[in-house]
Structure 1
Amino acid sequence: MMRSLYAGVSGLQNHQTRMDVIGNNISNVNTYGFKRGRVSFQDMISQQINGAARPTEEVGGVNPKEVGLGMSVASIDTIFTQGNLQTTGVSTDLAIQGNGFFVLKNGDETFYSRAGVFGVDSEGTLVNPANGLRVQGWMAEDANGRQIVRTSATPTDIVIPVGQKDPPKATENVRYFCNLNKNTPEIPENPTADQLLEGTWQTEINIYDTYGNAHQVQMNFSKVPGNPNQWNVSVNVDPDNAEFTQTRIGFGTTDGVANTYTLNFDNTGKLLSVADSAGNTSNPEGEIVLQASYNVADSNADAAGNPYRHTFSLSLGTIGSMENTITQAASKSTTKANFQDGYKLGYLDNFKIDQSGTITGVYSNGSVRTIGQVAMASFTNQGGLEKKGDNTYAESINSGMANIGESGTQGKGSMLAGTLEMSNVDLTEQLTDMIVTQRGFESNAKTIQTGDSMLETVINLKR
């Protein structure tokens, strides 16, 4: 009889534990990134009254007689199912779709979290503003003008340098493509203004010198008289100041050449060859790249007293190709520069984060470059993580070591910026579990009450 009392006590205690977990789940129903807990019960050791007996020739076997001594908590599991996603519109808010955790640092301590409520502190560091934990990732490195993120390196603090200068970049490459109208009239020897205008296709594009000053590059295409598949092209940087800029264009070097070159097409309208003013011609196949140079005003002269000249490459496309190159067909002239890689001084105005966690900065000068990438961690047994408060977890001896890498690899999910993961607590389920837990608690209390009543009856036998 006493056993039933202690069994009831164990039931009361452990249903109370289950109620504590349910209460914690409900209290965190609106906590971003929260993962609900689940309590599993198991029976405790049983007292054996009689053991089992094997069958004999005369009688069959006998099962053991055992009385259970109550129950205990088998486990309190963290259920890492996906929570719903809520759009916030805040660019630094991040949610993980799928498996994985954000990596956070407090000094040398490392924590992991599903809650991506992040912001930028006064030093530009990406942090959790609630506790100051620093988000870990990789900063981009400059490699020959390209921004490279080495995700194989050890993660560090992510710093977003809002307001940082982006130094001016001189134009190094300009590309032209599209079509020159085959039916453009030739320009006579002594053309009128209307004939000159009708027979010339003119394009302009702005390029930049090493100071970030913009310069207009003007190219004039006109058909060569007597040659139906040949065009003369003149190039002028800042045509209103052409006498000073002294534009020159040629193959390999701009020394000893003028500011003109010639385009030759075959009978199918494909580019056949290009020649500069010195008679140098392009290779019979491959991409055509000319070198152009011009004088830069207000710059230091060289030892000979000559003004500083800026040189850039001018690509006209590929010999014999109809794609991304200059062609000659009986259609409207559309040839123009579609690319140049220079820009003026700018400042970091804004940034965005894509699904791989890559942070891209948008500068006031129009340039876009990679700043860094947010790291993500995964575990062999994420249920083995220890809760450390503030929506964070830490490694345990049963979680396995953190596998830190970029999102979308090795089973890791993807990131969504401007979004937060909501709690995965289902209120309907929790309230139902609360009812079941309450009934279990009441039933165990009734077991104790009934056992006490039976003991009282026994005690009253001697009266």
Structure 2
Amino acid sequence: MSVTSALYTGISGLNANGEAMSVIGNNISNVNTIGFKQGRMLFSDVLSSTISGGSQIGRGVQIQTVENQFTQGSFESTESGTDLAIQGDSFFVVQNTSGRYYTRAGAFSFNKDKTLVNPEGYQVMGYGIIPSSGLSDGVLKPIDLTNFATTPPKQTSTVKFVVNLDSTQTTPTLAWDPANPVATSNYSTSLSVYDSQGNAHTATVYFRKTADNAWDWHVILPDAAAGTPGSTTTPIDGTLTFDATGALTAQTPLAGAAQNITFAGGVTAPQPIFFDLGVGATTQYASSSVVSSQTQDGYYQGTLTKVTIDDKGYVNGVYSNGQLQKLYQVALAKFSSTAGLSKAGGTLFEETLESGQPLFSDASTPGVGKILANSLEQSNVDMAAQFVKMITTQRGYSANSKTITTADEMLQEVLSLKR
């Protein structure tokens, strides 16, 4: 009978609103969960019954779906360089022995095995780097620093100077003497160069004015083998020519002419080094002689001291020798339908038929998103909105209970007809 149907209609309302309260409670309980995405309950009516005349009477409510909402959460700044957040709709890729998962929670750190993991030990996936190009190799793998604890030395191949030589200087009274270089030159500067094993060797460049707008330059490396270029007995000699404005217009030997330096100790020998004295940049002005810059491209073996991650997801190693090396690139995944993802607990998601297969890429790909280091994405739960939903859900629950009690009173009236 219709009154009995009203009882079941009320029960459906109690069940649906009770489950809705569970969803709201879950949202509120995760208001401080990193990378959490709130859910919402969607209801639909139950297939109606048809009575005489073609009219339809509803049979209550049912839960249609609990939908995850993937709106962007706000960002919290942190002190950890391995804390990551995504500005966009992509996901980090993590895995363990049970499978591969996707997450927005980027509270990562390196474990004892030097692998980047989340708090539950899931490995964060990334791409290796092609050394020649500095770009990712497209092969997904755990971000593991085991093979990057040190970086090998690099021998010096080019030395560059930019200096100002005082035009008011006069030619020293003594002719150039490599055995007495200080007294027979006007100015000098030194820097370290490196051999193939990372040993440092001091190279000193002496500048000697020979005439107006003309200077000689001489390089002495005390460690160079006797009788070879750069040694104290056989310095590297050259000339500098300036124009009337004080600009360096030419040098000899040319910057593109390598000087073959020979060091002892089983290192690569001879070692070709190009000396660039800064044509177009070095000057001869009436002010004190000074070095504007001096650089060389060699370095000694370095140890990994720090790891940084940039907005394109490149994991960069900072080494004790001053070198910055790209080690990995953090992988990202996108889905055709994020709403189709299934929650796996631990702020992780799994792909489903409804979500479609993941499209793997990285933050340097247009439209994928940007990675923010020293940041974490907060829960996207809106507390005010949840409390309003809690009130309306409570009202709905109470109203459905009234349907049941009222239908019960109506049944009591029917039973009291026979007295």
Other-structure match for 2:78: 88
Shift of the alpha carbon at 1:423? Answer: 1.4
Other-structure match for 1:220: 206
Query: Are the equivalent residues in 2 in contact too, given 1:29–1:424 (CA < 8 A)?
Result: yes
Distance 2:313 2:373 in 1: 8
Shift of the alpha carbon at 1:363? Answer: 1.4
Query: Are the equivalent residues in 1 in contact too, given 2:136–2:329 (CA < 8 A)?
Result: no
Q: Tell me the secondary structure at the aligned position of residue 184 of structure 1.
A: coil
Q: Tell me the secondary structure at the aligned position of residue 462 of structure 1.
A: coil
Query: Is 1:67 the counterpart of 2:52 in the alignment?
Result: no
**Structure 1 stretch displaced more, 389-398 or 307-316:** 307-316
Shift of the alpha carbon at 1:408? Answer: 5.0
Matches within 5 A, 1:96-245: 96-107=86-97, 109-130=99-120, 132-143=121-132, 148-151=134-137, 153-161=138-146, 164-189=149-174, 200-225=186-211, 228-238=212-222, 244=226
Shift of the alpha carbon at 1:265? Answer: 2.2
Distance 2:364 2:298 in 1: 33
Distance 2:372 2:164 in 1: 42
Query: Are the equivalent residues in 1 in contact too, given 2:83–2:106 (CA < 8 A)?
Result: yes
Shift of the alpha carbon at 1:447? Answer: 0.2
Distance 1:189 1:340 in 2: 31
Query: Are the equivalent residues in 2 in contact too, given 1:162–1:349 (CA < 8 A)?
Result: no
Using structure 1 for the length normalisation, give the TM-score. Answer: 0.82
Shift of the alpha carbon at 1:333? Answer: 2.9
Distance 1:332 1:245 in 2: 34
Query: Are the equivalent residues in 1 in contact too, given 2:154–2:198 (CA < 8 A)?
Result: yes
**Structure 1 stretch displaced more, 119-128 or 446-455:** 119-128
Query: Are the equivalent residues in 2 in contact too, given 1:356–1:415 (CA < 8 A)?
Result: yes
Shift of the alpha carbon at 1:368? Answer: 1.7
Shift of the alpha carbon at 1:116? Answer: 1.1
Distance 1:242 1:393 in 2: 63
Other-structure match for 2:179: none
- The AA in structure 2 aligned to 1:219 is V
Distance 1:350 1:247 in 2: 39
Query: Are the equivalent residues in 2 in contact too, given 1:316–1:326 (CA < 8 A)?
Result: yes
Q: Tell me the secondary structure at the aligned position of residue 20 of structure 1.
A: helix
Shift of the alpha carbon at 1:331? Answer: 4.0
- The AA in structure 1 aligned to 2:242 is F
Shift of the alpha carbon at 1:371? Answer: 1.0
Shift of the alpha carbon at 1:106? Answer: 2.4
Query: Is 1:359 the counterpart of 2:315 in the alignment?
Result: yes
Task: Give the % identical residues.
Answer: 37
Using structure 2 for the length normalisation, give the TM-score. Answer: 0.90
Distance 1:242 1:8, change over 3 A: closer
Shift of the alpha carbon at 1:9? Answer: 1.2
**Structure 1 stretch displaced more, 170-179 or 264-273:** 264-273
Residue by residue over 1:397-454, the C-alpha shift from the partner in whole angstroms, topping out at 9 and shown as x without a partner, is 1212212111153422222222222211222222221121111111101101101110
Shift of the alpha carbon at 1:212? Answer: 1.4
Distance 1:162 1:27, change over 3 A: farther
Matches within 5 A, 1:269-284: 269-276=246-253, 282=254
Query: Are the equivalent residues in 2 in contact too, given 1:245–1:294 (CA < 8 A)?
Result: no
Shift of the alpha carbon at 1:163? Answer: 7.5
Shift of the alpha carbon at 1:390? Answer: 1.5
Q: Tell me the secondary structure at the aligned position of residue 170 of structure 2.
A: coil
Shift of the alpha carbon at 1:377? Answer: 1.0
Distance 1:243 1:210, change over 3 A: closer
- The AA in structure 2 aligned to 1:5 is L
For structure 1, list consecutive stretches of 5 or more residues without a partner in the other structure. 52-63, 250-256, 277-281, 283-287, 301-306
Query: Is 1:247 the counterpart of 2:229 in the alignment?
Result: yes
Distance 2:91 2:407 in 1: 50
Query: Are the equivalent residues in 2 in contact too, given 1:163–1:349 (CA < 8 A)?
Result: no
Other-structure match for 1:313: 274
Distance 2:283 2:152 in 1: 36
Distance 1:297 1:220 in 2: 24
Shift of the alpha carbon at 1:315? Answer: 2.3
Distance 2:397 2:101 in 1: 37
Distance 1:422 1:293 in 2: 59
Other-structure match for 1:252: none
Shift of the alpha carbon at 1:327? Answer: 2.8
Q: Tell me the secondary structure at the aligned position of residue 328 of structure 1.
A: coil
What is the root-mean-square deviation of aligned Cα atoms in Å? 2.6
Query: Is 1:78 the counterpart of 2:64 in the alignment?
Result: no
Q: Tell me the secondary structure at the aligned position of residue 107 of structure 2.
A: coil
Count of matched residue positions in the alignment of Structure 1 and Structure 2 = 411
Distance 2:34 2:405 in 1: 43
Distance 2:165 2:74 in 1: 55
Distance 1:199 1:217, change over 3 A: closer
Query: Are the equivalent residues in 2 in contact too, given 1:174–1:337 (CA < 8 A)?
Result: no
Distance 2:70 2:184 in 1: 71
For structure 2, list consecutive stretches of 5 or more residues without a partner in the other structure. 177-181
Query: Are the equivalent residues in 2 in contact too, given 1:124–1:162 (CA < 8 A)?
Result: no
Distance 1:101 1:345, change over 3 A: same
Distance 1:365 1:159, change over 3 A: same
- The AA in structure 2 aligned to 1:133 is Y
Distance 1:245 1:403 in 2: 63
Residue by residue over 1:348-393, the C-alpha shift from the partner in whole angstroms, topping out at 9 and shown as x without a partner, is 1211111211111111222221111111111121111111112111
**Structure 1 stretch displaced more, 5-14 or 172-181:** 172-181
- The AA in structure 2 aligned to 1:113 is T
Q: 2:48 aligns with which of 30, 46, 49?
A: 46
